[in-house]
Structure 1
Amino acid sequence: MDANDPASAQGKLAIGLTGGIGSGKTRVADLLAQWGASVIDTDLIAHALTGPGGEAMPALRDAFGPDIVAADGAMDRAAMRERVFADPGARQRLEAVLHPLIGARAAAEGAQAQGDYVVYVVPLLVESGRWRERVARICVVDCEPETQVARVRTRSGLTIDTIRRIMAAQATREARLAAADDVIVNVAATTPQELASRTFELHECWRELARSTRRSAS
């Protein structure tokens, strides 16, 4: 692990939390934070990097031109989404700019983390291929693809076609589950109470694992 690997930067048990769009991983992360885990959301980091005055914006303007810059100076996410959908090479250029910056920011936040363990919320954890060596365990929040579509439509207003295009660019449900050490089921029939109970069970397991690891190291 190098200095920019979040798991090595702060010496705590590192959990990678992922799931497809609309799976409910943000709700799971919020619950874990309520119970004392340090949560570092790489999507929020990416939004900060691409917001008005964001650190990534000069490089993105150079790579893609002014058309992907909104009036407020932030990245125009809709315009970038269409660019990436139309040109696979554009995704690679975008990731080449953002991923090193996201990794460095995540490592810096991880170095300041408190609590028994650290959760890195990484929407494209499986797809990136970089996080397996950075975390001790991968936790997948899982639901049916149809439920993903319904949830995202409700919260975002995106069209079904756009949602399915986003999902097609992500790992399949099967690929995520194959990579998982832990799974939190959040299908359409899952109640908020059930989701909280399943999440708390893993929270307790991770706390004990973190403490056991510290005892073994001392």
Structure 2
Amino acid sequence: MDGTLLQTETLLIHVHPRLFAALREEGLYTGETPPVDELIACLGMLLEEIWKKVMPDASEAARRRADELMLQYELEELEAGNGSLYPKVAETLRELKARGIKLFVASNGLEHYVKGIVKVKGMDDLFDDLYSAGEYETASKVELVALLMEKHGIKQGWMVGDRSSDVEAGKGNGLAVIGCAYAGFGGNAELAGADVCIEHFEQLLALLPKPEAAKEDLSSEITG
């Protein structure tokens, strides 16, 4: 979701100051508000890992409260119209769906955050299912994607994402990996090992086999 479908910084610039103001008001955080870029750089990690990096000296109570506030404010800001999808995301997903391709989200985020984005952005009808670490309590995205594939009987496919966790999840489950180089949250090293990198989401369509070859292995154009 983050850094692949959603241009998350357009949401976090509204959430970030509210979250730290609330933590200070509740007496859970006394330091300066860290730069929002520090939070953005952690996107794709589990929340537990994010808070350890963004506010390493904070108490466990502060980090758990930050989880709650993050979700609350993200949903509020989404409902207020903040937070943008990357260009051509909705159109590309609809074209992929029209071609009979099953679409899933596998995110390290919270359940209601992932589902909230899909609902607010009018994408409910596009995805076959939504998987989040928050809902399934998985320790890694490798585990989350394995669960998805087992439940839906997926034998082949593409893992599309912008972080090293996406590359690991794809390779760890025998999937071709498409690296999304347009977000830039973690730098080029994040996508080392990806089969192909794209600069725009709609470039996924150009990687697909031609209609007459649709029954062939989808990974052939990437790995062949």
Category of TM-score, reference length = shorter chain: 0.3 to 0.5
TM-score under structure 1 length normalisation: 0.37
Higher RCO, 1 vs 2 (CA within 8 Å, ≥6 residues apart):
1
More helix, by proportion: 1
The two structures have a TM-score, normalised by structure 2, of 0.36
